[in-house]
Each structure stands twice: as C-alpha cells, then as structure tokens.
Structure 1
Amino acid sequence: MKQKIVAVDDSHIVLDWVTSSLQTHNIEVVGHDSPFGVLRLASEAKPDMLLLDVNMPGLNGKAVCEIIK
C-alpha cells in the first residue's frame, strides 16, 4: 500500500520541492498552501502523516495539530 502524506506550506516553492522529493520515493503527496484548507483535507484524505509548516500566517502548524488532535 502506498503511503499518503498531506504537506502544507504557504510557500509554493517549498511545497513543490517537498512534493516532488517525496514522490520520487513512491509516496503519494497531497499538497496544500493554506492551513485552513488542510483541516478539511486531512479528514477527507486520511493521510498516514501530516507535514506542516510551523510558520504560516493566520494558523501555524502547531495550531493545526492541536485542532486535528
């Protein structure tokens, strides 16, 4: 079974780099540039792991973890 990771970063450059790097290791990656959008996405996608930027405007990665937890 292919692993699935949801990656969130407000920088498109970082998000593209993370996504392409993980995909070369046969990992399915769903990328999102908004911490608010990932709340819905995480429950729908049922990822094996969330990869969150801790320094995002509005809602940082730590806050996203607390909400999802």
Structure 2
Amino acid sequence: MDYRPGPDFRVVQLTPPGSACSVRIGIGLTDAEPGSVQGLYLVVPDLEAARAEPMERGVEVGEIRHKAPLDA
C-alpha cells in the first residue's frame, strides 16, 4: 500500500510474501527523528538470509548479535 492524502502524510506498507505481518514507513507517522529507533527486533526464520539480502543491495547492515540467557 502507498497512501498519500496530502504533503504532510504518507504511509507505505510492506508485507513480505506469505507473511501475516507488515512494516509501515512514511511521513507524519511519528515525530521521532529519522535513525533514532532503538531496540527494534526483526524476527525471521533464516537470519543469515535476511541479513544477506539487503547487503547484496548495498545496504549497510550490522553484525548478527545473539542474546544469551542470564544463567548461560
């Protein structure tokens, strides 16, 4: 979906094929500064493939960080 009712609001909804979940990006959705999001989780069945795809398109992607339980 790409919906833009005016110059100050636009929403683009991205839904991966077969997914029951979407990501929304746009203008006027939040007043947060671009790049200020922290603690965002991306849950995928194949982490290496999900990381490799944007990298193949020239996107800078950080290293994979695995979380361990406190008692590990």
TM-score (normalizing by structure 1): 0.27
Specify the structure having the higher radius of gyration (Cα): 2
Richer in helix (by share) = 1
TM-score (normalizing by structure 2): 0.26
